[in-house]
Amino acid sequence: MSVDRAKPRPSRDIADLLAIMAALRDPVGGCAWDQAQSFATIAPYTLEEAYEVADAIARGDLDDLRDELGDLLLQVVFHARMAEEEGAFAFPDVVEAITAKLIRRHPHVFGDARGLSPEAVKAQWDEIKAAEKAARAERRGPAQPSSVLDGVPLPLPALTRADKLTRKAAKVGFSWTTTDDVVAKVEEELREVREAVRQTGASSDAVAEEVGDLLFTVANLARHLEVDPEAALAAANRKFERRFRFVERCLAEAGRSPATSDLAEMDRLWDVAKAAERAGDLV
């Protein structure tokens, strides 16, 4: 299917979206920017759009979610179009691959394994994924030795990746036994940050390494406490932003700004913001 460039129209048909993408990538009459892109240049936009979907969900904005899901779908279509141009695969192959995977991973819905408990479904899912991973490794041929840690994508946010890596290691017994053990390790890592700062000053490679160790251990602590570290930090970010904007508004009402205030005054207003949160007046 091709798109009528003279009279393009919005459509609910995925085929029209594919045709629009093909027109944008067309060497003759297409968009110069779209023509110049590659998998590598588009990948950052794919990640960004996924985050914007998550942000719309967190804000409970369903209108925004609709639009952001469209932007994310465009990323899939863009990558599929570039792959089709290289003769690797096309959008229908992407659809076939995911439908096959869903059917394969849900034999309790589409097969004979009926009436499984949630725990049994999870165990079955892990077994199927392990078999899929082994099959992929066999297809790809000799490579670096396999590892328990395989399958954790490099582009993930570092905090999420730390959580996933430690979860995989914990499955084979490489983990602290108790939460108290992890808390003790957090305290140890914090002492090492202080010592590195004392020895080398701020902004040194040694300090950066110790801060990284501290954050990694905090991710471990979150796992032990059954807390999603990425979600927890996102919530803390929103809380900080909410309180700081309150401080800015209070200063603006007094004809000032953070730049013309001082830390003591902003700390006082921060405490007012915290009290307002507890009273339900700041959300």
Mean pLDDT of 223-239: 93
**Model confidence pLDDT, tens digit, residues 241-271:** 999 999 999 999 999 999 999 999 999 999 9
- Output the pTM of the full model: 0.66
14-105 with 158-226: one CATH topology? Answer: yes
Reading the block at residue 164, the tokens are 């996933």
**Model confidence pLDDT, tens digit, residues 15-45:** 999 999 999 999 999 999 999 999 999 999 9
Burial class (CB in 10 A: 0-12, 13-18, 19+), 69: middle
The full set of domain ranges for the chain reads 14-105, 108-140, 158-226, 231-278
Is 70 exceeded by the pLDDT of residue 6?
A: no
Mean pLDDT of 187-195: 97
**Model confidence pLDDT, tens digit, residues 104-126:** 888 888 887 777 888 888 888 88
Mean pLDDT of 147-153: 86
Place of tokens 């460039």: 5
* pLDDT given for residue 115 in this prediction: 77
Higher pLDDT, 99 or 131: 99
Third-level CATH fold of 158-226: Helix Hairpins (1.10.287)
Percent of the chain with pLDDT over 90: 70
Which superfamily does CATH assign the domain made up of 14-105 to? MazG-like (1.10.287.1080)
Contact 17, 77 (CB under 8 A): yes
Closest CA to 80 of 93, 96, 67: 93
* pLDDT given for residue 19 in this prediction: 95
Confidence of residue 49 (pLDDT cuts 50, 70, 90): very high
Count the neighbouring beta carbons within 10 Å of the beta carbon of residue 189.
18
Is 70 exceeded by the pLDDT of residue 77?
A: yes
Count the neighbouring beta carbons within 10 Å of the beta carbon of residue 256.
13
For CA atoms 241, 246, 250, 252, the dihedral sign is positive
* pLDDT given for residue 1 in this prediction: 59
Is 70 exceeded by the pLDDT of residue 213?
A: yes
* pLDDT given for residue 282 in this prediction: 85
* pLDDT given for residue 124 in this prediction: 86
* pLDDT given for residue 201 in this prediction: 84
Confidence of residue 3 (pLDDT cuts 50, 70, 90): low
Is 80 exceeded by the pLDDT of residue 60?
A: yes
